[in-house]
Structure 1
């Protein structure tokens, strides 16, 4: 599996009620062994998570199910990360 850095920036119209749904989504991925790290930025502007997936298409398909994405409250980018 490859690693993908998922970078989320909050938009001004973010719905705070979506945050617990997003966290539950990440917890489910973590239970499946698909999240290595996740967390918010200290300035509350957004956050990131390190996702494991077979390829970029699979990573993007996973991110598209994230409530942060489906709610439209965050700008989200996905990058394959060649970290060691």
Structure 2
């Protein structure tokens, strides 16, 4: 599998009720062996997670099913990441 860096930047209309849903989503990915690490930025502007997927299309489909994205509260960007 390839690694993808998923960056989430908060929008002004973030609904705090979505945060536990997003965290549960990340926990599920971790249980599946797809989320290597995740966490918020220190300035609370957003966060990131390292996702394992077969392709960019699959990574986008996963990231776009994240409640952070589906709620409209975060801008989500996905990068293929060539880690060592």
Unaligned runs of 5+ in 1: none
Say whether 1:34 aligns with 2:34. yes
Unaligned runs of 5+ in 2: none
Q: Deviations over 1:32-81 (max 9, x none)?
A: 00000100001100000000000000000001110001000001100000
Partner Cα separation in structure 1 for residue 79 and residue 23 of structure 2: 20
Partner Cα separation in structure 2 for residue 6 and residue 12 of structure 1: 19
SS at match of 2:28: helix
SS at match of 1:12: coil
SS at match of 1:6: strand
Which TM-score applies when normalising by structure 1?
0.99
Partner Cα separation in structure 2 for residue 19 and residue 82 of structure 1: 29
Q: Cα RMSD between the aligned structures?
A: 0.4
Which aligned pairs between 1:67-78 and structure 2 lie closer than 5 A?
Answer: 67-78=67-78
| Number of residue equivalences | 84
Q: What's 1:83 paired with?
A: 83
